[in-house]
Chain A
Amino acid sequence: MDGGTLTAALVTLALWTYLYKDNPIFRLAEHLFVAFSTAWWVGELYRNYVKPVVLEDILQQGRWGMVLALLLGVILYARFVPAISWLARYPMSWMLGYGAGYVLAFQVKPLVGQITGSFLKFGSINSVLLWICIVSALVYFFFTISRENVAVSSVATFGKWVILVALGAAFGNTVLFRYTLLMGRVEFMLRDVLKVAQ
C-alpha cells in the first residue's frame, strides 16, 4: 500500500470515529482538513488569478488596463481600516451590480422556457396530472390573494400537498445520494486498502 492510500485510509477511519462520539482523533483530522483546504485554495488562487493577471498580463505583456481591476480588488481590503472602510463599498457595489445584471440578463430566458414548457397538450393522464400539480403549486405561493376564497384555498391546499410530495421525493433522493458517497468510501476501504473486494 502506498503512502497516499494509507493516509487516506487513516483519515477516513479517524472521521468515522465521530459516529461513536466526538473525540480528539476526529478533531485532529477535521482541523487538518480545514488547514489543507485553506492551503490548497491559497495555491490555487495564486496560480489561477494572481500569477496570470499580475505576473503575466500586467508585468510581462503590459496590459495596464488590468491594473484598474486589480485596484478594485485591493480596495476591498479597505474595510479593515476604519478610517477608509467606506472605500470598500465601491468594489462591493460593482460586484452586486454585476450579480443583479447577470441574473436579469441571462436567467430570465430559462424561466420563459419553463413557462412555455408548461403549455402541455393533454394526451395522457400524466400530462394532465403534471399540469394540475404545476398550477396548484403556483397558487400556493400567491401571497396577495386572500385564502378566504374557497376556490383559491382548496387549490392552494392541494398545491401544498403537491409540494410536500415533491419534498419527500427530494428527501429520498438526497438520502440515496449520501449512501452513494458512503459506498464510494466503503469501496475504497474494502477494495484499495483491505483488498477484499474486486
Chain B
Amino acid sequence: MQALLKIDTRLIYLLTFVVVAVAVLATLGLPVRVTPPTKALYDFVEKLPAGTLVWVGMDYGPGSKSELDPQVVAFFHHVFKKDLKVVIHSMWTMGGKIGQELVEPIAAQYGKEYGRDWVNLGYKPGNETNLRLCTSSIKECAANVDHLGSSLDHLPLMQQARALDKNTFGLAITFNTGTPGIREYLAIVQAEKQLALADGTLQMSVPEDIPFFQSGQLVGMFPGVRGAAEYEVLVGVKGAAVKAADGQSLAALYVAILVILGNIGYLTARRAATAQ
C-alpha cells in the first residue's frame, strides 16, 4: 500500500491529460444543477426592463479566458435577448480586446448595433482611481474615447450613459480574476454608489467571494465555469461552458480518486512507522 505514495508523477500527468482529452472529445452531457448564486443573477437580469443600462467590467487577461469567456458569452446572450444596453470597461490591459472579440459575434446574432446598443470603452489605466472617476463622469474616466480611440460624442448610447451610478445603470458586473477586480467594485460601485453588483469569478475564488453574495452585497454570481454552464441552461443557449463543466466533473472524480489513494498510502505508512 505504501507504494501508493511513490506513484511516478509522470504517470499522474499522463492520466490527467487522458482525462481532460476525453472530456474535450466526448460529449458527456452530465446533468447541470443550477445553484442559488447563478439563479439569483439570472432572475435579477430577467427583471430588468428593456433598455436598462448594464455596466460590464472585463477585468481579466488571457490567462483566465477558459473560465471567464463562457461566463461572458452566456451573460451577453441573456442581456441582448432582454434588449438591455451595455457599456464595457476594463481595468486590465487585454480586457477590452477580449470583450470586443467575445461580444461582437453575439451582438451581430441579435442584430445589435455598436454605439446604439452597446459600447466598449476598452482598457482604461488607473485601476480603482479610474473606476472611481467613472462614477462621476464616464466621459472623463474614458478620456472621451472608446476602445478604438473614436470619440464618445459620436456614440448615441453615451448620451444616456453619463456616470456609473444607480440612477443611470440597473446593474454592474465584473468578470474578474484578482486585483483590480471585485474588491474595488464592492468598495466603489456597491458600497459607495449603492448600485446592484454581480461577480463573474474564477472557480478558485468562489470560497473567497461567496460571503459577499450570502451577505446580500452581491445580487448574484457566476461561481466559476460551472456557473457559466448553469447560466447557459437558464438562458437556453448551447455554449462551451456545459462541456467545460463536464471536464471539471471528470477532473474532480479523478482528483478525488488520487486524494483517496494518496491518503491510504499515507495512513499505511504512518501506521507502519508507529508499529516499528
Please tell me whether chains A and B touch each other in their complex, using a CB distance cut-off of 8 A. yes
Residue in B closest to A127 when the chains form the complex, CB atoms: B214
Do A182 and B16 have beta carbons less than 8 Å apart? yes
Interface segment out of the listed A64-72, A75-83, A183-191: A183-191
Let me know if B24 is at the binding interface, CB within 8 A: yes
Q: Tell me which residues across on chain B come within 8 A of A178, comparing CB atoms.
A: 204
Q: Is the CB of A118 within 8 A of B20?
A: no
Asked if B163 is at the interface of the complex by the 8 Å CB criterion, the answer is: no
Cα–Cα, bound, A188→B208 (Å): 30
Provide the bound-state CA to CA distance between A140 and B205, in Å: 23
A114-B215, A183-B244, A186-B20 are known contacts. Are A169 and B66 too (CB-CB below 8 A)?
no
Is there a chain A Cβ closer than 8 Å to B51's Cβ?
A: no
Question: Main SS of chain B's interface residues?
Answer: helix
Q: Are A177 and B215 in contact (CB under 8 A)?
A: no
A109 CA / B208 CA spacing, docked (Å): 17
Any chain B CB within 8 A of the CB of A49?
yes
List, in ascending order, chain A residues with CB within 8 A of B214's CB.
Answer: 117, 130
Known: A20-B10, A177-B204, A186-B17. A106 touches B192 (CB 8 A): yes
A173 touches B224 (CB 8 A): yes
Question: Do residues A183 and B13 form an inter-chain contact, with CB atoms below 8 A?
Answer: no
Q: Is the CB of A170 within 8 A of B143?
A: no
- The chain B residue with its CB closest to the CB of A56 is B143
Are B66 and A109 touching (Cβ within 8 A)? Answer: no
Asked if B21 is at the interface (CB within 8 A of a chain A CB), the reply is yes
Any chain A CB within 8 A of the CB of B183?
yes
Least CB distance from A134 to B in Å reads 9
Would you call A110 and B190 a contact (CB within 8 A)? yes
From 194 to 217 in chain B, residues with beta carbon under 8 angstroms from any chain A beta carbon are: 202-208, 211-212, 214-217
- Residues of chain A within 8 A (CB-CB) of B66 are 180-181, 183-185, 187
Chain B residues with Cβ below 8 Å from A106 are: 128, 187-188, 191-192
Residues of A within 8 A of B203 (CB): 173-174, 176-177, 180
CA distance A79 to B255 in the complex (A): 49
Q: Across the interface, do A109 and B192 meet the contact criterion of CB distance under 8 Å?
A: yes
Chain A residues with CB under 8 A of B208: 170
Contact call B67/A177, Cβ cutoff below 8 A: yes
Contacts of B127-152 to chain A: CB distance below 8 A:
128, 143
Please list the residues of chain A having a beta carbon within 8 angstroms of any beta carbon in chain B: 19-20, 44, 48-49, 52, 102, 106-107, 109-110, 113-114, 116-118, 130, 166, 169-170, 172-187, 190-191, 196-197
